[in-house]
Each structure stands twice: as structure tokens, then as C-alpha cells.
Amino acid sequence: MVRRVTRVGVISDTHGLLRAAALEALAGVDLILHAGDVGRAEILQRLRDVAPTVAVRGNVDTSPWGRTLPETEVVDVEGRLIYMLHDRAALDLDPRAAGFAAVVFGHSHRPDATEANGVLFLNPGSAGPRRFSLPITLARLTITPTSLVHEFIDLPVDE
């Protein structure tokens, strides 16, 4: 029996800045999820050069290209459904009842992972320009048909 494992890079709040360290941290992933506030269309193309990329619109993605991004997205990875949106406060459904294994979001620039009712709520933090004294981070998810394991990756601030 072959056990499928998918590595997913999770990034958010790039605000037009894609650090070389972020690209290095995403190398080797099978899929990238961008939870909004992309900032520039070129960011998504550079991410797509690394791996297939799914992105949602953030509150700064107001230009014509940004408005083409969906506000929410559902991604099926190894039979596990992931719900994406930018601001968790806009979540208007019960993720568990909808069958989601995880909710990926951004907006606050604070990395966070909590589990509630069997659903992982994951904010990778901000990978873009530093805001206040918050860290610069992204996350990786290792997904199998039966598990979701996350890790945060700290990126250097000096880029």
C-alpha cells in the first residue's frame, strides 16, 4: 500500500514583497496556498514557478487583477478539504459541519494554529514587510489522508 503525503506551503500577507527566504522555504512543496493580501500579480507568478498555487483575495488586493481572486476557496488535498479566506472574522459557516479539515487565513500578520472541534485553524503569519515587532513567517503543512501536521518557518527580517 502506498501512503500519500503532500507537502503544502502556506503563505499570507506578502503585500507585494516575496522574500528570497520565503521561496527557499517553499522549495519542494507540492502546493502553495496564499491567504490573501498578495499585493502584486507577479507574486503569484513567482509562487507558481515553485508549485501550483491557490490564492484568495485580501483587503489590499483591490486592483483589477486582485479583484479577480476569489474571496474564499476550497482546496481538496489528499481527500482533506481546506477552506481558505483572508480574514477569519469573515468566516460565515461552521467548518466542521461543512466537512473541512482546516481553515487557512491571514490578515492579522500573527502566526497561529489552533484546533477547535477537530478543525485546524491556521494563520501562517505575514511573509511580507515587517509590521510592528511581529515575526516574518510562513507555514508548511504535511497532509496525509488521516493527518495534518503544521510547522511555522521564521524568515529573516533583514531582507
Reference 51, options 74, 30, 21; nearest CA is: 30
> Could you give the CA distance from residue 29 to residue 7 in angstroms, rounded to a whole number?
5
Give 37-46 pLDDT, tens digit per residue. Answer: 999 999 999 9
Kindly list the domain boundaries of the chain, sorted by start residue: 7-129
> Could you give the CA distance from residue 34 to residue 43 in angstroms, rounded to a whole number?
10
> Could you give the CA distance from residue 19 to residue 40 in angstroms, rounded to a whole number?
13
Give 14-69 pLDDT, tens digit per residue. Answer: 999 999 999 999 999 999 999 999 999 999 999 999 999 999 999 999 999 999 99
Give 83-121 pLDDT, tens digit per residue. Answer: 999 999 999 999 999 999 999 999 999 999 999 999 999
Q: What is the pLDDT of residue 145?
A: 81
pTM of the model: 0.95
Grid coordinates given for 88: 477569519
* Mean of pLDDT values over 114-135: 94
Higher pLDDT, 130 or 73: 73
> Could you give the CA distance from residue 143 to residue 131 in angstroms, rounded to a whole number?
30
Q: The CATH number of 7-129 is which of 3.60.21.10, 3.30.930.10, 3.30.70.20, 3.60.15.10? A: 3.60.21.10
